[in-house]
Amino acid sequence: MGTIKKILGIVWIFLALLAAYFSVVQFGIPKLQTGLQEDLVFGIIIVFILTPIVSIGLGLFGYYALTGEYENSKM
């Protein structure tokens, strides 16, 4: 189980990068460029709130998983 947890760490890091790409390139920036007020707010929240939480948070979680921080002996 310990090895699976570590290997899955790579998956979480990859997902964090993927989420950052979609949040910024697909959702965030197009919303910021429409010129509509409601899109602007949505874009700001996606880029500055959701993206950091998902990307940095999930990335860090993946890193901890990869380095064995979630092994039973360290819990």
Partner 1 sequence: MQTKTQDTKGIWKVIGASSLGTLIEWYDFFIFGSLSIVISTKFFPSENPTAAFLSTLATFAAGFVVRPFGALFFGRLGDLIGRKYTFMVTLMLMGGATFLIGCIPSFDTIGYAAPFLVLILRLLQGLALGGEYGGAATYVAEHSPKGQRGYWTSWIQTTATFGLFVSLVVILIIRTLLTEEQFDSWGWRLPFLLSLFMVYVSYLIRKNMDESPEFKKAKEEGKTSKSPLKDSFGNKYNLKFVLLALFGAAMGQGVVWYTGQFYSMSFMKMIMHLHTDQADMILGIALLCGTPFFVVFGALSDKLGRKWIMLVGMMLALLTYRPIYDAMYTLTDLEQKTEIVAAKIIRDELIPTDNGNIKKTTIERTFTDGTIAKEIVSSNTEVIPKKDLHGNPIVDQKLSVYLSGMNYFMLVLLIFIQIIYITLVYGPIAAFLVEIFPVKIRYTSMSLPYHIGNGVFGGLLPAISTYLAINAEAAGDPKFYLEGLWYPIVISAVCFFIGAFYINKSIITKNEI
Q: Interface with partner 1 by CB under 8 A: which residues?
A: 1, 4-5, 8, 12, 15, 27, 37-38, 40-42, 44-46, 49-50, 53, 57-58, 60-61, 64-65, 69-70, 72, 75
CB of 8 to partner 1, least distance (A): 6
Distance CA 45, CA 52 (A): 10
Please report how close the Cβ of residue 31 comes to partner 1 at its closest, in angstroms: 8
CB of 66 to partner 1, least distance (A): 12
Strand ranges inside 1-75, DSSP E? none
Q: In this structure, are residues 12 and 61 in contact, taking their beta carbons and an 8 Å threshold?
A: yes
Q: Which two tokens stand for residue 1?
A: 């189980």
Which residue type does 62 have? G
